[in-house]
Amino acid sequence: MKLFVSIFLLLMSVMTVVGENRFPKPQFEKGYSIPVTSAPEARSLMLDRLDVVVLFSALSLATWLVLKKRSRRGIFLLTIFSVIYFGFWRKGCICSIGAIQNVTLWLADSQYALPVGAAAFFILPLIFSLLFGRVFCAAVCPLGTIQDLMILFPVSVPRFLSCILSMIPYIYLGLGVLFASIGSAFVICRLDPFVPLFRFSGDLPIVLFGAVLLLAGIFVARPYCRFMCPFSVLLNWTSRLSKWHATITPDECVKCRLCEKSCPFDAILIPNTGQVSEPRGKGVDRLKIILLLLPVLVIAGGWSTSRLDVIFSRSNPSVQLAEAFQKNDQSKLKIMKYELEAFEGGKASKEDLYAQADIFRKKFRTGGWLFGGFIGAVFGCTLIGFSIKRTRDSYEPDRGTCLSCARCFMSCPKEHKRLGV
């Protein structure tokens, strides 16, 4: 009996390989028509195009409101619109922050098609930032705007702490690019704290992370934007080059100090002409040391992160499986039983798997050098930035970190004069 069943099953499996159906299509007598398999369509292309149009319009409107109209109320209304449209309606995906990874993958993988929507969400904010400053952050980015609505009692973050914390975005950006280009894993999307909120569902740790950030945001204004967001790095760089950036005063600064406390992001630079400057020679010497230190930092960073190749490569399941085979780790193989099943059902041999794992490790070795070198360079350049003193004789927004939110405008007496209040 058992033999009969096994022969029957064997025959069946042979039939599948041949491609015949085991059970023939029935011949209905009563005129039954076979229903069509339902295949609901994906979100229409028109809606995707609409998103890009809305993004462009929102950026233009934000620019006009900040630079021409100088209206905080307008920015606030646009903020609410962005939270609703880009957040709750579009479910926060695809966003500009995540689009970094799509662009990276497009550069790294010749088989990946970059959707136009993702490209537009990446390019448009950067172009606007090059021209007008970070108007995208001010009122368009869904992640930024939802935090912006939470700013109730902003406190000033101590300078040394904000300097240390503002290194995180560089590391996050580097890791995001590294994994998108090699592991094809989108780390930035995975750790996105606010998308679960927009969708009303998600993993508990991420939801809690988002909730903590929102609550912290009541006091520390926009914690994600300032101390985590990887896109903020690119916006910071481009905004420093911006042609027309928002100014605190519509006129000439009278140094009345009224705007000093108006920025919740500590992005107002105070004049330093009155300060006693140190002798010039001392500063030059320090700069020389840091410039000599820069290559050392780059190499040290690159070397240390390239050592992490084995750990980084474990993010890939096939590397994990290869390691479990090589170490004959039975408990790991038990955990990966489905991966094992899929591998055994496939055509690849163990040697193929090992070769693939080696390729991943090598890629992470090279990528580690680049990533670590980048972080080293960022540290060095930050130190150089500290040791170069620029003289300022008026209150100015820090072009890199100013989010063009328009909060400081009304604290300026010249603004009151302009409006005739």
* Closest CB 153 distance from another protein, rounded Å: 33
Q: Which one of 87, 117, 142, 174 is in contact with another protein (CB under 8 A)? A: 117
Q: Which one of 3, 35, 160, 390 is in contact with another protein (CB under 8 A)? A: 35
* Closest CB 88 distance from another protein, rounded Å: 12
Q: If binding is defined by CB under 8 A, does position 12 make contact with another protein?
A: yes
Residue 317 · residue 369 · CB < 8 Å: no
Q: At what angle do helices 96-108 and 168-181 cross, to 10 degrees?
A: 40
Q: If binding is defined by CB under 8 A, does position 102 make contact with another protein?
A: yes
Q: If binding is defined by CB under 8 A, does position 420 make contact with another protein?
A: no
Residue 265 · residue 221 · CB < 8 Å: yes
Q: If binding is defined by CB under 8 A, does position 23 make contact with another protein?
A: yes
Q: Which one of 61, 75, 83, 120 is in contact with another protein (CB under 8 A)? A: 120
What part of residues 191-210 is at the interface with another protein (CB under 8 A)? 196, 199, 201-203
Tokens in use for 72? 């905080």
Applying CB under 8 A, what is the total number of residues that bind another protein? Answer: 72
Q: Rounded to an integer, what distance in angstroms lies between the CA atom of residue 210 and that of residue 260? A: 30
What character string, x for contact with another protein (CB under 8 A) and - otherwise, covers 241-280? xxx-------------------------------------
Q: Rounded to an integer, what distance in angstroms lies between the CA atom of residue 85 and that of residue 79? A: 10
Residue 93: which residues within 8 A CB-CB, separation 6 or more?
189, 195
Q: Positive or negative, the Cα torsion across 371, 376, 382, 384?
A: negative
Radius of gyration of the chain (CA): 28
Q: Which one of 2, 3, 24, 421 is in contact with another protein (CB under 8 A)? A: 24
DSSP annotation of 409 reads: G
Q: If binding is defined by CB under 8 A, does position 29 make contact with another protein?
A: yes
Q: If binding is defined by CB under 8 A, does position 36 make contact with another protein?
A: yes
What part of residues 331-390 is at the interface with another protein (CB under 8 A)? 336, 338-339, 341-342, 345-346
Q: Name the region of 44 (left: φ>0; alpha: ψ -120 to 50; beta: rest).
A: beta
Q: If binding is defined by CB under 8 A, does position 4 make contact with another protein?
A: no
Residue 376: which residues within 8 A CB-CB, separation 6 or more?
294, 297, 298, 299, 300, 301, 302
**Cβ closest to another protein, residue 113 vs residue 164:** 113
What part of residues 47-76 is at the interface with another protein (CB under 8 A)? 48
- What are the CA-CA distances from residue 15 to residues 9, 21, 22, 65, 345 (Å)? 10, 7, 7, 69, 17
- What are the CA-CA distances from residue 67 to residues 138, 236, 246, 247 (Å)? 12, 18, 6, 8
**Cβ closest to another protein, residue 92 vs residue 373:** 92
What part of residues 74-93 is at the interface with another protein (CB under 8 A)? 91, 93
**Cβ closest to another protein, residue 38 vs residue 328:** 38
